[in-house]
Amino acid sequence: MTSPYPMVLPTLSLRSGALSAVVLLSLYSKSKQQNSYMKKTLLFIATLLASYVGMAQETYQPTAENLKAREQFQDDKFGIFLHWGLYSMMGTTEWIMTNRDINYKEYPKLAKTFYPSEFDADAWIKAIKAAGAKYITITTRHHDGFSLFKTATSTYNSVDGSPFKRDIIKELADACKRHDIKLHLYYSHLDWGREDYPVGRTGTGTGRPKEKADWSSYYKFMNTQLTELLTNYGKVGAIWFDGWWDHDSDTKPFDWQLEEQYALIHKLQPQCLIANNHHHTPFPGEDIQIFERDLPGENKAGLSGQSISRLPLESCQTINEHWGYNITDTLYKSPKELIQMLVRAAGKNANLLLNIGPEPGGALPELALNRLQAIGEWLNKYGETIYGTRGGIVGPHEWGVSTQRGNKLYIHILNCMDSSLFIPTGNHKIKSATVFGTNKRVNFTKTGNGITLNFNTVPTDIDYIVELTL
């Protein structure tokens, strides 16, 4: 006989496991009248999941400083991602080393001419702060292996391996401190150039001899660099990992030894948040969940189909089409697109990490500066409805989203086709409705399970914000 309760084995994860265990236990309870085999199977799986979750929770217990940092991170709402390195000199993509199968002994020759004379850390951070961003995430070392900081692990860095001879991360860290911008550090888990890195599914054409792979050596190298970054550059807001997916197709599951690495980071700086762009539900030890090129729950780009955790959320997106500088890419998103992206992220209880690829010479592209200025001007007027808020009681709709702080509910109308709009506020009593930033009252009527806002005309603003007092 076929059971009416289909057997679905959920992915084991710290966040989804607890819920799955509850669901399975519920099914077990409901199936008391079903055959004994089903009861035993469900109970076994539920017990397994519960034990896994308990074990995972015991593995990582965030400190009070870390929990406070998570809250602050959620309050900040907006950061700027910066992809910059040797690859910028080629003017194509940050993946050029693997895309063009450049030999691992030839590619480092780029460092001999790396001299970004226009790089000005203060100019970068001033423009970013004026845009309303609260933090930056900078590529300390991307997949090509070149480090933008002085490191004892290798001379392949901006100080010892280039005529520039400057510690770019140090200059940015100092500028961030001067201008009260938080510093987050991107760090690649993979390396297309080091012989000791075990070759994954990318960088296969760079000529590295597979027989020289030595994980213990590479792991020590990474942890030494992470120790340097968390020791020599002041307070770090987050470590942003990328590259786990390089071994996601291995016949034998690859052990990145994340638990030990995460423990090292939290030991060095307990408040430092850990994010990993692995496209999975967060692993134990992580403090932020990332959604690449997508808002949480949308998965339009095919990289963010994982379930949404209770951790702080961050959506990373490019300001044009690429991450690193591309000389032919002028397809910059409009100010309207970017502002609405920020608003929709906030409505989904997520931060927006907006990427810019600085030019080879070190300047931020003019079109990027133009967009940053527009975002900054908007946030100067409407930032109160974004910063320090959480996703509101009204979920995302085609017309827009809501954000909330205390008894203030902000209705962000991004796409309205009529002069009236139904807002499903449920049983919450609405005391007043005004156009945000003005004393202009918005007429509304109680309608079913919510209210209907009545406007004189169809809202056409980038974001028409109605402030509801609960």
Residue-wise pLDDT tens digits, 103-146: 999 999 999 999 999 999 999 999 999 999 999 999 999 999 99
| pLDDT above 50 for 304 | yes
β-pairing verdict for 400-405 and 408-413:
antiparallel
**Are the beta carbons of 358 and 395 closer than 8 angstroms?**
no
Q: Are 274 and 265 in contact (CB under 8 A)?
A: yes
Q: Is the pLDDT of residue 439 over 90?
A: no
Model confidence at 327, pLDDT cuts 50, 70, 90, reads very high
pLDDT exceeds cutoff 90 at 48:
no
| Average pLDDT, rounded, for the chain | 90
Confidence of residue 303 (pLDDT cuts 50, 70, 90): very high
Contact 421, 404 (CB under 8 A): no
pLDDT number for residue 102: 98
Question: Does 23 score more than 50 pLDDT?
Answer: no
Among 421, 391, 414, smallest CA distance to 464 is for 414
CATH, range 64-385: 3.20.20.80
Q: Calculate the alpha carbon distances from 310 to 286, 369, 387 in Å.
A: 11, 34, 19
Instruction: List, in order, residues 6 or more apart from 142 with CB less than 8 Å away.
Output: 83, 85, 87, 94, 186, 188
Cα first-last separation, the chain: 53
Tell me the two tokens of residue 227.
């120790």
pLDDT of residue 305: 92
Q: Is the dihedral of CA 247, 267, 352, 412 positive or negative?
A: positive
- pLDDT at position 415 is 97
Residues in contact with 218: Cβ distance below 8 Å, sequence separation at least 6, in sequence order: 191, 194, 196, 197, 198
Give the separation between CA 386 and CA 346, rounded to whole angstroms.
Answer: 6
Which tokens belong to 280? 């999975």
pTM here is: 0.88
Spatial distance between the Cα atoms of 187 and 271, rounded to a whole number of angstroms: 18
pLDDT one-digit tens code per residue, 174-208? 999 999 999 999 999 999 999 999 999 999 999 99
The residue among 462, 96, 300 whose CA lies nearest residue 317 is 300
* pLDDT beyond 60 at 54: no
> Taking 90 as the threshold, does the pLDDT of residue 160 lie above it?
yes
Structure tokens at 302: 């095919």
Rounded Cα–Cα distance for residues 272 and 89 (Å): 31
Q: In the chain, pLDDT over 70 holds for what percent of residues?
A: 88
- Please say if the pLDDT value at position 467 is more than 60: yes
**Is it the case that residue 386 has pLDDT exceeding 50?**
yes
CA-CA distance, 443 to 238, in Å (whole number)?
Answer: 45
Q: Output the pLDDT for position 5.
A: 28
User: CATH says 392-469 is which class?
Assistant: mainly beta
Structural domain spans, the chain: 14-59, 64-385, 392-469
- Three-state secondary structure call for residue 353: strand
pLDDT band with cut points at 50, 70 and 90 for residue 59: confident
- pLDDT per position as a tens digit, 268-282: 999 999 999 999 999
Per DSSP, the three-state class of 388 is: coil
The share of the chain scoring above pLDDT 90, in percent, equals 87
Distance CA 380, CA 374 (A): 10
DSSP collapsed to 3 states, 309-328: CCCCEEEEEECCCCCCCCCC
Residues 14-20 have a mean pLDDT of: 38
Does pLDDT of 53 surpass 90?
no
pLDDT > 70? residue 45: no
